[in-house]
Amino acid sequence: MTLGDLPEKVKDGLQVAWSRGPAMRIRFAVTAAIVAGAGVLSACATERSDQDARREYERSVADYENCLAANQMSTCEGERRIMKANKRVLSTTVQRLSR
């Protein structure tokens, strides 16, 4: 990305920041660092939610299979519903990450 790619309002803001001296440049740099840090933290949180969703789904599949092995299918309706709900959460999370 070059300065030419930026919208006019952003270019004007940069020119004002640079024309006001070192204090404004420092504020601008700190603000940019905070915004970049927030983006990194957001990416980490998204990765963590993907792992959590996958772990929850795998756990619910195991719970359902264990229930089926020990009981009749009608007894495991609650576990089946939890497993299906966790599968929807995982699918939504994966689709969101693939965008």
Cβ 90 vs Cβ 55: under 8 Å: no
Q: How many domains does the chain have?
A: 1
pLDDT at 98: 75
Structure letter (DSSP) for residue 98: T
Q: Domain range holding 34? A: 3-97
pLDDT at 63: 95
pTM of the model: 0.52
**pLDDT, mean of each 10-residue run, the chain (99 residues):** 60 64 63 58 60 93 94 90 94 82
Rounded distance between C-alpha atoms, residue 91 and residue 56, angstroms: 12
Rounded to the nearest 10 degrees, what angle do helices 8-19 and 22-70 cross at?
Answer: 130
